[in-house]
Copies of this chain bind each other. A is one copy, B any other.
């Protein structure tokens, strides 16, 4: 039996809660597919409306604009990831083991998901996060958006990871920066691997986990104490 998680989203992210209606859910789900296919810039509410057999005005009733829809999707992803981290590290005692489990989650290398997220195409969403997530905050209105707590899920996830890092090494002084840079590195290295491979050392073959090993080495070398391990 599979469970389904309902993630309660910040109300500032939408005009009308898309999870409360059929059209709303289709906007999000098909929006993920469309944006995954053609990218953020090429995506328009008109194209999405056509795909849904509705009109752009209807989509505007749910989301103020395309950027808010992106922020919504990304926020959903971070909340989902946070949930996955909690689930996967639950009952583990070793803080190293917890961090080990974290890495494949960040790279979406996990096969068994703890619960099926209601028809959301996770692979498409993960690709959107890799290619478009930075566009959610690299704007002139970051500060306003931040004030409205739009980035809280990302901060929460970073906070969670920073906690794991501090559990591993309470003396490490850069836990939050280490957490945010771990996430970001996972994503643009994935992007580079796929699109600008000469910026990486990874071949990109399906079962090549050199990126995972890179992240593992990078993480543990930085948060381990300088002395040889006892």
- Which residues of A line the B interface, CB within 8 A? 38-39, 41-42, 131-132, 134-135, 137-140, 142-143, 146, 151, 154-155, 158, 173-181, 184-185, 188-189, 191-192, 195-196, 198-202, 210-211, 214, 217-218, 221-222, 224, 226-228
Contacts and interface: CB of A to CB of B under 8 A. Distances in A.
Contacts of A41: 139-140
B140 A134 contact: no
A149 B132 CA distance: 23
A195 B140 contact: no
A189 B180 contact: yes
A169 B73 CA distance: 42
6 contacts: A39-B140, A174-B217, A177-B200, A180-B192, A218-B218, A221-B224
Contact of A201 (B151, B175, B217): B175
A191 to B, nearest CB: 7
B177 A137 contact: no
Given A201-B176, A217-B222, A222-B218, A195 B135 contact: no
A177 B139 contact: no
Nearest to A195: B142
A176 B158 contact: no
A174 B196 contact: no
Contacts of A184: 184-185, 188
Given A132-B138, A135-B135, A214 B177 contact: yes
Identify the interface centre among A41, A131, A196: most chain B CB within 10 Å of its CB: A196
Contacts of A140: 38-39, 41-42
B217 A137 contact: no
Nearest to A143: B195
Contacts of A175: 201
Given A174-B218, A177-B201, A181-B185, 9 more contacts: A39-B140, A41-B140, A42-B140, A134-B188, A137-B195, A173-B201, A180-B192, A184-B188, A221-B224
